[in-house]
């Protein structure tokens, strides 16, 4: 019998003999691979005429896109993957949309499926629009003509007619496999008719592929910007989802998800309006689009976090969540029956939360800047909204609304916009704010609950007379109106210097110029509780300075006996 040492030596010898064939096979595979690669490098280039391929590639792409394609140069590369580098690729525009190219890319990498070379065919594996040596990326121009058609519609419909196999199909079939299309660090411009819009998407990454024979997958990520103003950071926009084949553009079924995240409100307002609205916080918006493009279901959510004015940081910021829905006709850029709802906090002493809503019949996105033409049948309303919440919103528009100003109660009402084609064009409706003053307040609502009513009639909003003090002889009444040009306020009745000072503390803008009309307010020796009759009108043009004047008191004629 062999001892343990001899047994180990014998087993090691057998293992060494068994390992030699496996190592030999591995070496042969490496050598065979190198030989195949060398043969591929030697035999493939003579089979390919690059100059002829340039014309062939341009012709093939023109047939696939339905638009003329021009190339300056084609460079063949074999490593690491066989393919071509296309230089100065230009896809011409349909003349009905203008003369500017729809796609321009200085560098495009087209990789081939190696197996197709052995069949003397060229099957594209991927098309990558890249940044050139000077840092310039690809450019896409989106154009909508006067007939409401987009320049991408014909490209998509033409691509839908081409028979293609899925991108990730392993084996070749009768139909060529759809390539993986990708663009990095690109730019997307928007043009409406002959006018180029200031909006664009920069640092855009795009991908398109065919997971199944009847479905496309798309992904687009970029940073929105505006060319006519300095927008440093406006968050990130993302679109991804799927589209399916259909006979017409409006019938194309989609399942898309869109988002706009981490946008500072100051930069977001500059992007949308061209100027900083003076608000701070963070904007996050999400939307889904499902169904045929001519009548897709739209669900959107807008979230504003830490909403406040730019010039100060209040003790309490607003967090706003708005939910919207409607039916979206994407080819015509029209939203049917859009509605948005803003839930508000539960008012003090109530068990039901409030709500602010906006509803319309239609909204034409191309005309959103025109209330007359862009939105039809617009209705705004509030139900059981706490007055404190209304004051929080008022502070966003004016820094002169005191933080200590609190009015207990709720606000409700509604207005509707009547189009110019009808007789009473403009806003029609009213809002009512029920006021319950705090204990010890000598002004609004101290003696009994009051109702502050705003009545809208065409382009004028009237403040209905409101009793702000309870003098028995002649109570002090506040009224006024506002138009597109400015506003005016009237204060008439019996009051005291103390009450006027208190009222000016509650409404600081009302106090501008009041000393000139009521000299007793500036007189340090004037009695604070002496009854004082006033009849003051204060007016201001928007953007101007408020001025106040005392109305002349006409004495009644004496009767003769």
> If we measure between CA atoms, which residue out of 47, 74, 45 comes closest to residue 61?
74
The span from the CA of 279 to the CA of 261, in Å, is: 17
Q: What is the mean pLDDT of residues 372-397?
A: 86
Find out whether the peptide bond into 178 is cis, omega within 30 degrees of 0: no
Q: Domain limits of the chain?
A: 1-47, 48-213, 465-561
Of all residues in the chain, what percent are helix, strand and coil, respectively (each to 5)?
25, 45, 35
Query: Model pTM greater than 0.85?
Result: no
pLDDT digits (tens, 9 = 90+) for 339-368: 999 999 998 888 889 999 999 999 887 654
DSSP 524-558: TTS-SSS-EEEEEEEEEETTS--EEEEPPPPPPPP
Residues of the chain with pLDDT > 70, as a percent, come to 81
> If we measure between CA atoms, which residue out of 311, 341, 314, 342 comes closest to residue 326?
341
Residues of the chain with pLDDT > 90, as a percent, come to 36
pLDDT at 7 over 80: no
> If we measure between CA atoms, which residue out of 200, 207, 242 comes closest to residue 221?
207
Name the token pair of 532. Answer: 């004082």
The predicted structure's pLDDT at residue 261: 97
Q: Are strands 103-112 and 450-458 parallel, antiparallel or unpaired?
A: unpaired
The span from the CA of 135 to the CA of 129, in Å, is: 12
pLDDT digits (tens, 9 = 90+) for 167-187: 888 777 788 888 889 999 999
What does DSSP assign to residue 250?
G
Q: What is the mean pLDDT of residues 50-72?
A: 79
The predicted structure's pLDDT at residue 536: 92
pLDDT at 441 over 90: no
Name the token pair of 273. Answer: 């309006």
Q: What residues contact 510, with CB distance under 8 A and at least 6 apart?
A: 489, 503, 504, 538
Q: What is the mean pLDDT of residues 151-171?
A: 81
Query: For 253-291, what is the HEC assignment?
Result: EEEEEEEEEEEEHHHHHHHHHCCCCCEEEEEEEEEEEEE
Q: Which long-range contacts (CB under 8 A, 24 or more apart) does 360-367 make?
A: 361/336, 361/337, 362/334, 362/335, 362/336, 362/337, 362/338, 363/326, 363/334, 363/335, 363/338, 364/333, 364/334, 365/333, 365/334, 365/335, 366/144, 366/192, 366/333
Q: What is the CA radius of gyration of the chain?
A: 36
pLDDT at 369 over 50: no
SS3 70: strand
What does DSSP assign to residue 148?
S
């Amino acid at each position: 019998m062999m001892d343990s040492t001899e047994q180990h030596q014998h087993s090691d010898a057998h293992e060494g003999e068994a390992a030699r064939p496996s190592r030999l096979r591995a070496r042969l595979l490496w050598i065979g691979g190198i030989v195949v690669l060398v043969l591929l490098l030697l035999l493939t280039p003579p089979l390919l005429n690059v100059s002829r391929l340039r014309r062939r590639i341009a012709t093939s792409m023109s047939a696939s896109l339905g638009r003329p394609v021009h190339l300056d140069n084609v460079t063949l590369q074999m490593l690491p993957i066989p393919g071509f580098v296309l230089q100065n690729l230009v896809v011409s525009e349909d003349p009905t949309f203008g003369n500017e190219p729809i796609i321009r890319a200085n560098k495009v990498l087209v990789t081939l499926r190696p197996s197709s070379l052995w069949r003397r065919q060229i099957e594209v594996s991927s098309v990558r629009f890249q940044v050139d040596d000077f840092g310039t990326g690809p450019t896409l121009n989106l154009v909508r003509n006067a007939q409401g058609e987009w320049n991408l519609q014909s490209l998509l419909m033409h691509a839908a007619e081409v028979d293609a196999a899925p991108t990730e199909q392993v084996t070749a079939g009768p139909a060529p496999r759809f390539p993986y299309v990708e663009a990095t660090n690109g730019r997307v411009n928007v043009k409406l008719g002959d006018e180029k819009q200031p909006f664009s998407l920069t640092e855009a990454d795009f991908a398109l592929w065919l997971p199944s024979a009847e479905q496309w997958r798309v992904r687009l990520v970029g940073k929105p910007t505006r060319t006519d103003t300095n927008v440093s950071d406006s968050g990130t926009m993302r679109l991804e989802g799927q589209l399916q084949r259909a006979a017409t553009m409006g019938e194309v079924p989609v399942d898309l998800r869109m988002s706009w995240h981490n946008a500072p409100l100051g930069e977001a307002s500059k992007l949308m309006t061209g100027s900083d609205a003076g608000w701070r916080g963070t904007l996050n918006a999400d939307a889904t689009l499902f169904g045929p493009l001519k009548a897709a279901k739209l669900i959107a959510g807008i979230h504003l976090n830490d909403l406040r004015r730019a010039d100060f940081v209040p003790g309490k910021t607003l967090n706003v969540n708005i939910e919207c829905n409607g039916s979206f006709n994407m080819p015509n850029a029209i939203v049917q029956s859009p509605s948005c709802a803003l839930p508000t906090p539960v008012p003090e002493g109530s068990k039901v939360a409030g709500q602010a809503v906006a509803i319309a019949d239609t909204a034409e996105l191309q005309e959103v800047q025109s209330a007359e033409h862009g939105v039809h049948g617009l209705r705004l309303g509030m139900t059981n909204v706490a007055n404190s919440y209304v004051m929080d919103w008022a502070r966003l528009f004016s820094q002169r609304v005191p933080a200590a100003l609190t009015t207990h109660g709720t606000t409700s009402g509604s207005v509707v916009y009547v189009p110019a084609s009808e007789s009473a064009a403009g806003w029609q409706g009213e809002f009512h704010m029920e006021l319950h003053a705090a204990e010890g307040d000598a002004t609004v609502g101290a003696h009994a609950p009051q109702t502050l009513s705003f009545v809208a009639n065409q382009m004028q909003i009237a403040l209905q007379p409101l009793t702000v003090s309870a003098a028995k002889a002649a109570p002090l009444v506040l009224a006024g109106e506002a138009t597109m040009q400015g506003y005016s306020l009237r204060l008439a009745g019996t009051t005291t210097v103390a009450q006027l000072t208190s009222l000016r503390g509650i409404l600081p803008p009302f106090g501008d110029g009041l000393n000139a009309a009521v000299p007793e307010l500036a007189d340090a020796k004037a009695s604070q509780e002496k009854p004082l009759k006033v009849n003051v009108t204060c007016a201001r043009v928007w953007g101007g300075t408020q001025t106040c004047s005392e109305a002349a008191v006409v004495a009644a004629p004496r009767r003769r006996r």
